[in-house]
Amino acid sequence: MSLNLSQFREYVVIPALNQLDGIAYSLASDQLVMGTLTQESHGTYIKQLGKGPAMGLFQMEPATHKDLWLNFIRYRRPIQCSLLLMTSDSVDANYYSNGWPDHNALVWNNRYAAAMCRVHYFRAPEALPKANDIKALARYWKKYYNTVHGAGTVEEFIKNFPYELYGLEREG
């Protein structure tokens, strides 16, 4: 079995991106988030393989999740409210113990995970590349999501990108 990327995009990613108040939806952001999904977890893994800490289909580390809330989201009320609404169905009293969702929400709430992926990119100082420029999106992913310390490569992102979702010809 595998994740149907077309349905995931239509019913999870696009609604998540549209629900983020204060961050406009764009095709480039849609492509960057879907490219991150296919690169980071291949749409398969909800916990990093081996001993790594990354969580969810977008493989965000708990430390990154915490940093986003402490140093970025808490100062942007519209984004904060949007994210809290995405996770408001939790019944665990400890879930919001810090004033934000526990990082485990990245595993069980795909809409929240997609939104957090987008927020992570929104914090980057550089504007998003243009839509359909997969090489530029790959470089952006490497610089701001995977970083120079990450094992992923620009070439892998380009290879793993879901071209068919966007009617694009596969590169290479």
Tokens of 59: 């493989």
Measured distance CA(94)–CA(114) in Å, rounded: 23
- Class of residue 37 by CB neighbours under 10 A (exposed 0-12, middle 13-18, buried 19+): buried
Whole-structure pTM over 0.85, yes or no? Answer: yes
Measured distance CA(98)–CA(116) in Å, rounded: 17
* Amino acid at site 47: K
Residue among 154, 47, 50 at smallest CA distance from 107: 47
| Residue 95's pLDDT band (cuts 50, 70, 90) | low
H helix intervals, 25-143: 27-40, 62-71, 77-86, 105-108, 110-122, 134-141
* Separation of CA 35 from chain center: 9
| Residue 97's pLDDT band (cuts 50, 70, 90) | low
Mean pLDDT of 45-61: 93
User: Across all residues in the chain, what is the average pLDDT?
Assistant: 92
List beta partners, residue 60. Answer: 55
Indicate the domain borders of the chain: 5-166
Query: Tell me: the pLDDT tens digits for 30-40?
Result: 999 999 999 99
Measured distance CA(33)–CA(13) in Å, rounded: 8
Torsion of CA 51, 63, 154, 57, to 10 degrees: 70
